[in-house]
């Protein structure tokens, strides 16, 4: 039996069926689901499971905003937005952290983007649930933005803290004579955060 055949045999429960206990971890950390007795796929509980990149934006999820609320039907995009906006912990489920909150219309901006003083531009940011973290760079006030680093966030459940830092070793700040800007974005499937925090090093001032 192939890996994909095994994946398709994995079955999940809805939020209403059982939300008080941790569901059994699926094989291969996959979220593919299929009901062997029906052509319709089973819903996955968004309170427990993140819509990682093995899903699709239109995948079906069940979500209970607050304890005892009726279960709502949401899609993969909405599940990803909820986790990004309301669950800042890499090792916790969403559960009811979005209770009484609305579903964001898009992927929120990354937070906690700061400089680390070093010979090379070094930076870090807060963890945010996404499929990828993208660092973009611009050199000079009139330069253009380009992607210089992409981190693929591990599939959920994440077994250890992801690396939320990066150093641009291509620029030596001791000899650099311009201004360099950086932005960090979250990305789910093909969608990036609509806004991004920015930091910069201005090496013109020390020359």
**What value, to the nearest 5°, has the Cα angle with vertex 183 and ends 177 and 186?**
155
Q: What is the pLDDT along the chain (207 residues), one digit of tens a residue?
A: 343 333 333 345 578 765 654 444 443 333 434 444 445 556 789 999 999 999 999 999 999 999 999 999 999 999 999 999 999 999 999 999 999 999 999 999 999 999 998 899 999 999 999 999 999 999 999 999 999 999 999 998 899 999 999 999 999 999 999 999 999 999 999 999 999 999 999 998 755
Q: Where are the domains of the chain?
A: 3-86, 114-202
As beta bridge partners, residue 188 has 191
3 state DSSP class of 8? helix
Q: Whole-model pTM?
A: 0.84
CATH 2.60.40 is the classification of domain 114-202: yes
CA 36 to chain centre: 30
User: What are the phi and psi torsion angles at 112 (to 5°)?
Assistant: 65, 30
CA angle 191, 193, 195 (to 5 degrees): 145
Number of other residues whose CB lies within 10 A of the CB of residue 120? 15
- Which of helix, strand or coil describes residue 174? coil
- The radius of gyration computed from the CA coordinates of the chain, to the nearest angstrom, equals 20
């Amino acid at each position: 039996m192939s890996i994909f055949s095994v994946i398709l045999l994995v079955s999940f429960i809805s939020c209403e069926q059982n939300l008080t206990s941790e569901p059994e971890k699926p094989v291969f950390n996959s979220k593919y689901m299929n009901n062997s007795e029906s052509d319709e796929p089973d819903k996955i509980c968004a309170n427990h499971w993140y819509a990682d990149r093995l899903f699709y934006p239109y995948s079906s999820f069940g979500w209970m905003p607050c304890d005892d609320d009726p279960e709502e039907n949401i899609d993969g995009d909405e599940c990803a937005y909820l986790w990004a906006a309301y669950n800042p912990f890499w090792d916790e489920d969403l559960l009811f952290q979005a209770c009484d909150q609305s579903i964001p219309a898009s992927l929120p901006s990354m937070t906690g983007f700061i400089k680390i003083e070093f010979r090379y531009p070094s930076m870090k940011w807060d963890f945010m649930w996404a499929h990828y973290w993208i660092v973009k760079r611009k050199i000079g006030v009139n330069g253009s933005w380009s992607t210089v680093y992409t981190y693929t966030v591990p599939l959920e459940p994440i077994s250890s803290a992801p690396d939320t830092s990066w150093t641009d070793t291509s620029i030596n700040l001791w000899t650099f004579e311009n201004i360099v800007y950086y932005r960090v974005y979250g990305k789910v499937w093909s969608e990036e955060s609509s806004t991004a925090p920015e930091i910069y090093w201005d090496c013109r001032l020390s020359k």
